[in-house]
Amino acid sequence: MKVVVIGGGPAGLAAARAAAGAGADTVLVDSEPTLGGQFHRGDPQRVDPRVRHLANSTVWAVEGMRLHVRTGPADSPSRTGETLNADAVVLATGAHDRVVPFPGWDLPGVYTAGAAQALAKGQKIAIGHRVVVSGTGPFLLPVAESLKAVGAEVLRICDANTGLGWLGRPRAASPAKLAELLGYAVRLGAAWRPRTAVVAAHGEDRVNAVTVAKLNPDWTIRSQERVAVDAVCVGHGFTPRLELAVAAGCVLTDGFVQVDHTGATSVPGWYAAGEVTGIGGADLAAAEGEVAGAAAARGACPTKALAKVRSGRRFAAALADAHPIRPGWHTWLTDNTLICRCEEVTYKDLRAAVDLEASGTRTFKLTSRIGLGLCQGRTCARAAVDIATALSGDRRTFFTPADLQRRPIATPLRLAELASLPEEDL
Amino acid sequence: MDVVVVGAGVIGAACADALSAAGLRVTVLDRGPLASGTSAAGEGNILVSDKEPGPELDLALSSLSRWPALVGDTDIEWDPKGGLVVATGDPAPLAHFAAVQREAGVDARWITPAEALEREPHLTTRVTAAVHYPQDAQVQPVLAAQALLSNVRRRGGVLRPGVTVVGLDARGVHTSEGVIACDHVVNACGPWSGEVSRALGAPIAIAPRRGMVLVTAPLPPTVHHKVYDADYVGAVASGDADLQTSTVVESTAAGTILIGSSRERVGFDESIRIRVLRELARKAVALFPSLADVPVMRAYGGFRPYAPDHLPVIGADPRVPGLWHATGHEGAGIGLAAATGALLAELLTGATPHLDPTPFRVDRPGVLECA
Ligand SMILES: Cc1cc2nc3c(=O)[nH]c(=O)nc-3n(C[C@H](O)[C@H](O)[C@H](O)COP(=O)(O)OP(=O)(O)OC[C@H]3O[C@@H](n4cnc5c(N)ncnc54)[C@H](O)[C@@H]3O)c2cc1C
Ligand SMILES: Cc1cc2nc3c(=O)[nH]c(=O)nc-3n(C[C@H](O)[C@H](O)[C@H](O)COP(=O)(O)OP(=O)(O)OC[C@H]3O[C@@H](n4cnc5c(N)ncnc54)[C@H](O)[C@@H]3O)c2cc1C
């Protein structure tokens, strides 16, 4: 029984441990040089010694139960290849930052929360001296704390929502979670501003000021002020990395991989855990990984982990409800605000595409050029589709989350690498 | 007279454009978004270079001359870049092919390998012979289809995405949104024309032939023409189910390089095949060795609609009065669309066809199927 776990964050690590514990021949493929994923950045993790760990390795394509892997630094000409034939796969590819665009978000000095966190935790570098953190969700708080720890002055932590809605929900948060949040409140409360947002960044070659706005509940602007900064950090939740799930044919629900309580997806042999199935923090990811790893290896169900998954998912759902993205952000945009940085597509260009009745993902991309550049829409596609849907008004649209994540080549590879794949790998 | 065009791909769009220009009231239906089927899944070459003398070449030459006028000032990334066909083995078959094409009116210029390298400095030095086709052009197919659909809308035609056609009777076309009364129906459902023709009670033999394309990261100008290997011609005309690839390399307005394309008969199976991608990559690197280190950003593909004899089907269905077909354009529908729309409108309105419609008729051997 061969189990391949894709992704070495909290979910993948736990899945690999559980699968190996259940006696499966287990391989853990992770694209980073060290294990730990997003949560343990700067604090490399070790995996169960029975697990074969392929570091610096990316699953770039999926054919049924066959996984195509490249190993080596992304742009190195000396990467090597390998094909894994799995009996079961656990998908734990995590999520990346979601950012809502605003005028000036493309200026140097504007960072995503994930990038700012990685620099702070991984390399002990602060993105600036005077920083405003903006977006929505509780993850802004640990990021702000990391920034402070490396010497940045955090002027404001702007959450466009009130962020407190879920507190009223019975059993939504465990006592530990509440204690964690209380700690943040004590340490960061002075900078925290609910219902506010950075709605524009200013500067020539680098950000030197931002417009911070007080928002209405729908995120339209009530009033604004200018704040001098030398860096901004933004995060509006997460977008799951779904290209492999889509390539494998897994059904999605609400933009995440649909799983049952064991982590089984709609495709036999394919399991998923962690942020690809919903956003709920590192502990939930690890618990889901443990359950899915055991299920993939046909081992006994770890009941304690399963109980954690159940309560964790309640918390995650409450979290998601408390931190919606409200459409008022569209009113922050100007005609020339860049939406797609790779292809330099502006808000105005999106409107032109909608005027041509580009109402499906493919035609919308080909008409506006959104998402056709190097990031293949990972950064911008979601925002662009939100905009297009709003601009389409009463007209029918056909955008689907799966179409947005359809990237059968999950990470780029050089033509020579593709050309030299050996016969036995096909 | 009311006409319903089923299918808002480039062929349906061209038919609707020509019909509305002729004064008919046109409604275009598509089960999905406009222009999002095969027409959004391929390259946008308008080619004469790959066609041997015969009815398809006549249609291509007619189409080539019609395309620019149809879209007026609208930007469809029209690029008269010209084609370059190169042989790396025996030059004789290419020489013969070009000679017969010339007799049929194609501008096919025999050039030396040195001249080929002058035109395409990154080309392999293994070239033994080359033909330059100045007439070959390129468009962005989605923009092209949208431009034609905009013409239809401007003339008062109706575009209805999200409407699926399920049947036809004396009352009109049956759809997911009710019955639409009309005098004529045009089946322009691309690779789905076979199944739609069955639903309409008049089956024709149109099947899908899968094609994949690789797209590289954007590069500074590297490939200037549409460049392809002389073995392409063999693959187009072949009916083999097996995988066939022949290298076609060209750049787009955005700087990416498209590497196409494969031909496989695998039904509507969408799953990726690494073997196919490898073949495309191998042949592209053989033709342009310096592309070896260029990253591939994505792969995409679609299903070419083809008839058993590899010719388009354009005309009236002999079994169901008022039903017309415009489909089966295989790997050339973008190029052939302009003349297809014109021909269909001529036949439907009783005007004199601008070229002989007989080779494309619906009741030719192999196309009609039993209901
Ligand atoms: C800025 C920020 C702050 C956060 N703070 C907290 C916090 O304080 N508390 C908390 O509980 N949670 C926090 N989180 C959330 C936490 O990081 C996640 O819940 C957790 O990391 C999710 O684990 P995962 O295993 O699902 O994914 P990840 O940790 O994202 O791991 C996914 C791994 O998969 C790899 N991968 C992806 N695709 C491939 C591929 N094709 N081939 C091979 N490998 C691949 C990635 O490189 C990565 O290593 C924070 C997140 C962010 C972004
Ligand atoms: C990889 C590849 C490369 C190609 N390269 C080129 C090239 O360079 N040059 C060229 O000329 N051609 C090329 N082609 C071929 C070209 O794309 C096709 O010939 C052309 O797009 C066919 O257009 P169409 O309008 O007939 O079909 P489509 O564009 O597929 O349109 C048919 C429409 O019918 C709709 N439909 C289906 N069923 C129903 C129903 N029941 N009710 C309502 N609507 C329905 C579909 O949604 C679809 O939108 C290529 C094709 C591929 C796959």
Question: What homologous superfamily does CATH list for B2-71+140-205+309-360?
Answer: FAD/NAD(P)-binding domain (3.50.50.60)
| Cα B37 to ligand 2 centre (Å) | 5
Contacts of A396 in chain B (CB under 8 A): 161-162
Tell me the per-residue pLDDT of B270-327, one tens digit each, with 9 for 90 and over: 888 999 999 999 999 999 999 999 999 999 999 999 999 999 999 999 999 999 999 9
For B72-129, how does the pLDDT look when each residue is reduced to its tens digit (9 = 90+)? 999 999 999 999 999 988 888 899 999 999 999 999 999 999 999 999 999 999 999 9
- Element holding B102 (H helix, E strand): helix B92-103
Which pLDDT value is given to residue A167?
A: 60
Q: With contacts defined as CB-CB under 8 Å, which chain A residues touch B272?
A: 61-63, 247, 408
Q: Judge whether residue B231 has pLDDT over 80.
A: no
The domain locations on chain B are: 2-71+140-205+309-360, 83-134+207-306
Structure confidence at residue A165 (pLDDT) = 60
Q: Do B161 and A409 touch (CB under 8 A)?
A: no
Q: For residue range B185-226, what is the model confidence (pLDDT) as tens digits?
A: 999 999 999 999 999 999 999 999 999 999 999 999 999 999
Check if B136 has its Cβ closer than 6 Å to any atom of ligand 2.
no
| Nearest CB to A415; choose among B34, B271, B285 | B285
- Cβ of A352 under 8 Å from any chain B Cβ? no
A139 lines ligand 1 (CB under 6 A): yes
B chain contacts of residue A407, beta-carbon cutoff 8 Å: 298
Q: What is the pLDDT of residue A189?
A: 81
Q: What is the mean pLDDT of chain A?
A: 93
Instruction: Answer whether B45 contacts ligand 2 (Cβ < 6 A).
Output: yes
For residues B288 and B229, the answer to whether their CB atoms sit within 8 Å is no
A77 vs A168 pLDDT, higher one: A77
Closest CB from A64, A358, A407 relative to B298: A407
Q: What residue ranges define each of the domains in chain A, with the CATH number in brackets?
A: 2-96+239-301 (3.50.50.60), 99-236 (3.50.50.60), 333-404 (no CATH)
Burial B119-137 (b: 16+ CB within 10 A, else e): ebeebbeebebbbbbbbbb
Mean pLDDT of all residues in A292-307: 97
Rounded average pLDDT over A246-274: 97
- Whole-prediction pTM value? 0.93
Measured from the CB, is residue B333 less than 6 Å from ligand 2? yes
What's the confidence (pLDDT) of residue B243? Answer: 63
At the top level of CATH, which class does the domain B83-134+207-306 belong to?
A: alpha beta
Q: What is the ipTM of this complex?
A: 0.91
- Flag whether pLDDT at B240 surpasses 60: no
Domains B2-71+140-205+309-360 and B83-134+207-306 alike in fold:
no
B274 touches chain A (CB under 8 A): yes
Please say if the pLDDT value at position B234 is more than 80: no
| pLDDT grade for A426, boundaries at 50, 70 and 90 | confident
Average pLDDT of the segment spanning B362-366: 94
Whether B278 sits inside 8 A of A419 (CB atoms) is yes
Q: Cβ of B285 and A416 within 8 Å?
A: yes
CA distance B275 to chain A (A): 6
